[in-house]
Structure 1
Amino acid sequence: MHIHHLQEKNSIANRFIAQLRDTSIQQDRMRFRRNIERIGEVLSFELSKELNYHSKSVTTPLGTAQINLPQEDIVICSILRAGLPLHNGILNYFDEAENSFISAYRHHPDNDEKFEILVEYLASPSLEGKTLILADPMLATGRSFVNVLKALESMGRPEQIHMVSVIGAKEGVEYVSENFPENTHLWIATIDEKLNERGYIVPGLGDAGDLCFGTKKQH
């Protein structure tokens, strides 16, 4: 897997990440969602550099200009519900992309540390031969990404896979590296050291879905 870790170099994205983590700021849901969206835009710009391009002639008022444009058929697939703001950020840059939505959530059957990832909803176009961008702001254990990839197999085999995430844990990054095709690209803003006993990223930022949209009833 090709890992592109945004915070290895300083950029304005650091400010957005800091605000996402800051408990004095993150309770503003609109600002929290917008910061995830902005990070999605930054990661999309970096991702765009790895796409295939072709030259096109564009007519201007004074003549013609040649410009290289991306040529892939892109499908953006977000993992509901926390993935929606990230999806919007990616879609702001790849505005002609097709869109796919899938649900994946943690189910704690015994209300303890053990959990399973349940996938219950999928709406997607064909992925055959296309470029798939998988979006989920949190890469904790990595099991959601892996289960979603398995659920998408019936939609066809994409030619390229790009994963986009805001915050990950080293353990989750290693897990997806072992379970995704070797030529997959991971675009991630920052990677934290560890997971706690319930599989949440530390220091992380909390529950991204709850911070985006409010608390939910537990399954």
Structure 2
Amino acid sequence: MQVNHLLEENSIAGKFVAQLRDVEIQKDRMRFRRNIERLGEILGYELSKQLKFSAKNIKTPLGNSEVQLPESEIVVCSILRAGLPLHNGLLNYFDDAENSFISAYRHHPNNDEHFEIVVEYLASPSLEGKTLILADPMLATGGSFVNVMKALKQMGTPKEIHLVAVIGAEEGISHLEKEFPEDSKLWIATIDKELNDRGYIIPGLGDAGDLCYGGKLQH
């Protein structure tokens, strides 16, 4: 798997990540969602450089111009619910893409540190031969990405797979490298070193879904 780490180099994206982490700024849910959306736009732009392009002639008021336009058939799939603002950011740039939505959540059957990733809802077009962009802001253990990809197999085999995340842990990335095809690509803003005993990224930012949309009852 090719890992593309955005903040290996300094950029304005670092400001948006910092605001996502800040416990005071997090109190503004609209700003939190907007910063995830902004990072979706930036990551989408970087991702676009590796898509397939072809030459097209367009007519301007003063003549003709040859331009390079993307020709990949894109499906943007977000993991509900935290993935929605990231999905919107990607869709701002890939505005003619098809869309897929899937749910995944952590289920703690014994109310302890052990959990399993449960996938329940899926709405998707065919993925056969298309470019799949799978989006989830938090890449902790990697379990959500892996289980969601298993659920998506029934929709066909993508030509290429791009994973998009805001913050990830090294352990989760290692898990993805074992489970996803070698030619898959991960686009991530920043990478933290560890997980706590409940599988949350440290220092991370907390629960992205709750910070976007408010708290939830636990399963």
How does the TM-score come out when normalised to structure 2?
1.00
CA distance in 1, matches of 2:149, 2:200: 21
Q: Which runs of 5+ in 1 are unaligned?
A: none
Tell me the equivalent position of 1:75. Answer: 75
- Count of aligned positions: 219
Tell me the equivalent position of 1:205. Answer: 205
CA distance in 1, matches of 2:140, 2:114: 14
- 1:66-108 CA-to-partner distances (Å, cap 9, x unmatched) read 0000001000000000000000000000000000000000000
Residue 149, structure 1, aligned to residue 176, structure 2: no
Describe how 1:188-203 pairs up with structure 2 within 5 A. Answer: 188-203=188-203
Tell me the equivalent position of 1:126. Answer: 126
CA distance in 2, matches of 1:85, 1:177: 25
Tell me the equivalent position of 2:66. Answer: 66
Shift of 1:135: 0.2
Q: What amino acid sits opposite 1:106 in the alignment? A: R
CA distance in 1, matches of 2:102, 2:156: 15
How does the TM-score come out when normalised to structure 1?
1.00
Q: What amino acid sits opposite 1:85 in the alignment? A: P
Tell me the equivalent position of 2:87. Answer: 87
Shift of 1:40: 0.3
CA distance in 2, matches of 1:175, 1:208: 21
Tell me the equivalent position of 2:172. Answer: 172
**RMSD of equivalent CA atoms:** 0.3
Moved over 3 A (4+): none
Tell me the equivalent position of 1:50. Answer: 50
Q: What amino acid sits opposite 1:178 in the alignment? A: K
Identity of aligned residues (%): 71
Q: Which runs of 5+ in 2 are unaligned?
A: none
Q: What amino acid sits opposite 2:134 in the alignment? A: L
Shift of 1:24: 1.0
Q: What amino acid sits opposite 1:144 in the alignment? A: S
Shift of 1:27: 1.0
Tell me the equivalent position of 2:162. Answer: 162
